[in-house]
Chain A
């Protein structure tokens, strides 16, 4: 039996915590560069020597107060789950600020190890530590690590094991907060011991007293005894009277005082050169005038590359599925109407294949986003957007979840946890689906080349994304002046130094997303494709086929007699025209047959039912069924169009889906499809996450209904105006 060990990883945002977590557990997880990337509690297993270690990656935080949800999550985890060891990842090139969190860990009295991460960068900057001295002064083992080079990982685990094998030390390092505060602490400690002894099972009395003096909301709530509360308030008042400061000011000061004392003794900085390059880059990228155009330019570049570089591999995948379809069809006799053949060729290859084709787009889009994130640019984007966001009553930080929304609405909605005000959170959550997610990309990638000239492609895609952003901004503003009215919260955010993204970090991110996409194609989309295929195939109606067969025969007879008659009187040319005319008529009948067969199916019946509703938007029942399917997952739209247009195909030389779409619909309708897909009902999973994060079905339903209504009104407007002005009809 291996021994079990629970380790919690804590640290400031951008201290390299996620990289170390990845190194230790091998778990694939995203490493970002903006504050609050690890919002969720992430766990991983690591087997080392005789131990089976459960490692928890806690959110990046600056302090253990209850300022943000992340801080509360971390504190609760440490207090309630009592990990055997806490490893505090410290950015050793920014020691003082990072040690502030460490002092709070010391106050908690948890078994603590400090990992001085990025020690290579610190050395390059001329920072030298006396680790033995530092370790004695702080009262915790310290190890140097370089997460990006996997240095010091085993030593970290060894140290964790050694620490758990030591006898528990009850007297931990005590920070002195000065005479006045110390006297107050003593009094409160005594009072707690006397009046609320049950609390001492889970908290240390000194820590409780410090937190009460700091006026910590969460801790104040667990104290029921009024005498203690009174005592705390009296002490806060008297300390304020004596020193002119609140205790929390004095306590924070003492912590920094302790840190600077420790650093003075054991840290030497020979060169004073910090982030000079970062500052130079920021002078341009966050410039008042250049910032916004550069941001838009970078976004444009991302979409442009997504499209242009994605072309060739997409053609390859397309032809691969084409060959596969032909091969499978070839297993049956020509013109066979086998159900199995239809299921495999039309349902599965047509549906799933249609979605898999867009994998190159997904890979490229996430490659771009990963680079923007991992270099640290995303935090700058939030900074630049703050001015705009401020106008709508949100702040720049709300823009980070929105940017994540370009990838997927689900992590975007979860990332709203970094926002402090509930109203800001709800607003951001509700509009996040307007940021066009990766699953909507296949719809655009299908529609744009089908209807628009090549030189417009990137611009069209960019405009769709831009429309999403603008709509999000307007909707947020409307929400903030109506249902979610409230004061805006202060905007304070760290801009991490620029870093060159590691190939591994970007690769993991892209791989994760692509794999998720493929997995979705192989599971949800496969399932829905089969369901939609069945809905579009059944009930089979032989009467329709018979009717058309009769028609076809009559026409064939008519033409044959006509040709016979004409051979005598007219020349070859006339006969040729008659023959092509016959072919055309035949095609029309076949199309009508296909259309009526699908129209009689369950999907067709549903589609026809909703047709009056969507007709004013320019949509027919085929688009209608695809839209219903896309509520499960947005990519299903593409799959369903593939199924609808490949079923009942009679001629061998099948056109591509895009050609068929072009034949059936106008560019205006194409644009309306994109607009409606962009705005309308987010997928089911998004609604579920909104419910979970807002803790209310009301908001989730509001999001679903509101966005669908908005999509309907907008599309109606665009289609009707377009039709009147005759824009994009051919």
Chain B
């Protein structure tokens, strides 16, 4: 059996996305509180996220729905994108 649609890109945490890449939010795998907070900041499934800055051991800087959000590495591991 062959799938006609093959996902070109692998799902991965946003903390692994390099600077200047634009990705789509797939899932937030965190506790309810953080998830709800992220929703209120515009992090909903399918939303485009631009990674503005992702340096070693520093929080990420992303742009979503026109606002700039800093995300700690810990939270970044829980935001899955494609």
Q: Mark A residues whose CB is within 8 Å of B.
A: 62-63, 65, 67-68, 93-94, 96-97, 100-101, 214-215, 246, 248-249, 252-253, 256, 274-275, 278-279, 282, 286, 288, 379, 382-383, 386-387, 390, 395-396, 420, 488, 490-497
Contact = CB atoms under 8 A, between A and B. Distances in A.
Contacts of B40: 62-63, 65, 67, 100-101, 252
Nearest to B33: A67
B58 to A, nearest CB: 5
A205 B61 CA distance: 40
29 contacts: A63-B40, A65-B37, A67-B36, A94-B65, A214-B36, A246-B32, A252-B40, A256-B44, A278-B68, A288-B55, A383-B70, A386-B59, A387-B58, A387-B59, A396-B70, A488-B74, A491-B70, A491-B75, A492-B34, A492-B38, A492-B41, A492-B70, A492-B72, A493-B69, A493-B70, A494-B69, A494-B70, A495-B69, A495-B70
Contact of A63 (B34, B36, B69): B36
A63 B39 contact: yes
Contacts of B61: 282, 286, 383, 495
A96 B65 CA distance: 7
B75 A490 contact: yes
B79 to A, nearest CB: 10
Contact of A252 (B30, B36, B56, B68): B36
**Which of A93, A279, A491 is most buried by chain B, counting CB atoms within 10 A of its CB?**
A491
Contacts of A379: 70
Given A65-B36, A492-B37, A282 B55 contact: no
Contacts of B74: 488, 490-491
3 residue pairs, one from A and one from B, having the closest CB atoms? A491-B72, A63-B40, A490-B75
Interface in B27-79: 30, 32-42, 44-45, 52-53, 55-59, 61, 65-75, 78
Given A67-B33, A387-B57, A282 B68 contact: yes
B66 A490 contact: no
Interface in B3-29: none
B71 A492 contact: yes
Contacts, number: 123
A386 B44 contact: no
B68 A494 contact: yes
**Which of A65, A97, A256, A490 is most buried by chain B, counting CB atoms within 10 A of its CB?**
A490
Q: Is the interface of B mostly helix, strand, loop or mixed?
A: mixed
A282 B19 CA distance: 14
Contacts of B59: 383, 386-387, 396, 491
Contacts of A100: 39-40, 42
Contacts of B69: 492-495
B42 A492 contact: no
B71 to A, nearest CB: 5
A328 B35 CA distance: 68
Contacts of A288: 53, 55-56, 58
A576 B34 CA distance: 85
Contacts of B37: 62-63, 65, 67-68, 492
B36 to A, nearest CB: 5
**Which of A97, A420, A497 is most buried by chain B, counting CB atoms within 10 A of its CB?**
A97
**Which of B39, B53, B61, B69 is most buried by chain A, counting CB atoms within 10 A of its CB?**
B39
B35 to A, nearest CB: 7
A386 B58 contact: yes
A540 B68 CA distance: 67
Contacts of B67: 94, 97, 494, 496
Given A286-B61, A386-B58, A490 B72 contact: yes
Contacts of B56: 288
Given A252-B36, A279-B52, A97 B68 contact: no
Given A382-B70, A490-B34, A491-B74, 4 more contacts: A65-B40, A492-B41, A492-B71, A496-B67
A246 B33 CA distance: 13
B44 to A, nearest CB: 5
Contact of A249 (B33, B45, B57): B45
A100 B59 CA distance: 25
A678 B55 CA distance: 35
A390 B32 contact: no
Contacts of B78: 490
Contact of A253 (B45, B66, B68, B71): B45
A491 B71 contact: yes
B70 A252 contact: no
Contacts of B36: 63, 65, 67, 214, 248, 252
A518 B68 CA distance: 39
Given A63-B37, A65-B40, A253-B45, A386 B72 contact: yes
